[in-house]
Amino acid sequence: MCSSLKGQYEISEEIGRGRFGTIYRCYDVVSGNPYACKIIDKSLLTDETDQQCILNEPKLMSLLTPHPNILTIHNAFEDQHTLSLILDLCLPLTLLDRLTASTVTPFPNACHVITQLLQAVSHCHRSGIAHRDLKPDNILFDSRDVLKLADFGSAEWFGGDGGSLMTGVVGTPYYVAPEVLMGREYDEKVDVWSCGVILYMMLAGAPPFYGDSAVEIFESVLRANLRFPSRVFRNVSPAAKDLLRKMICKDPSRRISAEQALRHPWILSGGESETAELT
């Protein structure tokens, strides 16, 4: 572990583990404030893509700081063997853990969760950054239950309005947008698709596109046949379904932006709207 890190932070117990690193609770030795410390073992970064992802993450996170719904990077330390990031400390349960544990659908506070996520994504897009791997596993909450978007390892700088298009198949089967799978150039709207899938999961308790293997899931995503089975959607308002159709829209040029989604009647009504006029 880096000696300058040891001088500034006291590392405490392990609170999580990823593919390349371990997350510890830590304390600033001067203020006593608690943080999370992600220590990445560089020897595990064997291929160039992994190295790129890990080095990308702190750079892009710093560009996005501060935003209340984006995990803040407070400090970074590097030596020959490790890269250590000092991050906001969050609760151990991700949105995926909460969804898995939930026995009720729609998921309580679905509108509040998606509003915070869209605020984070809209800030990323205004800053010229696409996250490209939005999924419930990357959504954390702090001790006040404020959503914190994490894991910018697959994020890409596209340069904002009129910026360049992106290429490359990145993302996770259930949440990836069809234009990514088609191998075409794409823009930041891929994130809106993933937010739509996350909202659908919160409202229905299941993903909109599924299959028994990654290939089957991809085929289902490519068909993009969005359905609202009445058994699971009977408690979901027409306004919420309208928003889902506009976010999980196969044609990215017709898909709404994160900013527009934040102005949708269902979001503005705090998820209560059954009768709001649809746009």
Ligand X SMILES: Nc1ncnc2c1ncn2[C@@H]1O[C@H](COP(=O)(O)OP(=O)(O)OP(=O)(O)O)[C@@H](O)[C@H]1O
| Residue the block writes with tokens 């890409």 | 156
Query: By the 8 A CB rule, do 60 and 129 touch?
Result: yes
Residue 26 or 203: the one with the smaller Cβ distance to ligand X is 26
How far apart are CB 162 and ligand X at their closest, in Å?
A: 32
Burial-class residue 128 by CB neighbours within 10 Å (0-12, 13-18, 19+): middle
Q: Is 28 marked active-site?
A: no
| Residue of closest CB approach to ligand X | 16
For the CA atoms of the chain, what is the radius of gyration? 19
Using N-to-C axis directions, what is the helix angle for 189-204 and 238-247, rounded to 10°?
Answer: 150
How far apart are CB 275 and ligand X at their closest, in Å?
A: 39
Determine the Cα–Cα distance for residues 117 and 267; give it in Å rounded to an integer: 12
How far apart are CB 94 and ligand X at their closest, in Å?
A: 5
Residue 180 or 239: the one with the smaller Cβ distance to ligand X is 180
Report how far apart, in Å, the C-alpha atoms of 114 and of each of 3, 135, 136, 227 are: 40, 12, 11, 20
Catalytic residue among 28, 41, 79, 133: 133
How far apart are CB 178 and ligand X at their closest, in Å?
A: 23
Instruction: Confirm whether residue 38 is marked as ligand binding.
Output: yes
Residue 99 or 111: the one with the smaller Cβ distance to ligand X is 99
Q: Is 82 helix (H, G, I), strand (E, B) or coil?
A: strand
The tokens of 269 are what?
Answer: 């009504």
Determine the Cα–Cα distance for residues 64 and 244; give it in Å rounded to an integer: 27
Q: Which residues bind to ligand X, rule: CB under 6 A? A: 15-19, 21, 23, 36, 38, 71, 87-90, 92, 94, 137, 140, 150-151
Residue 93 or 165: the one with the smaller Cβ distance to ligand X is 93
Binding annotation for ATP: 38
Catalytic residues: 133
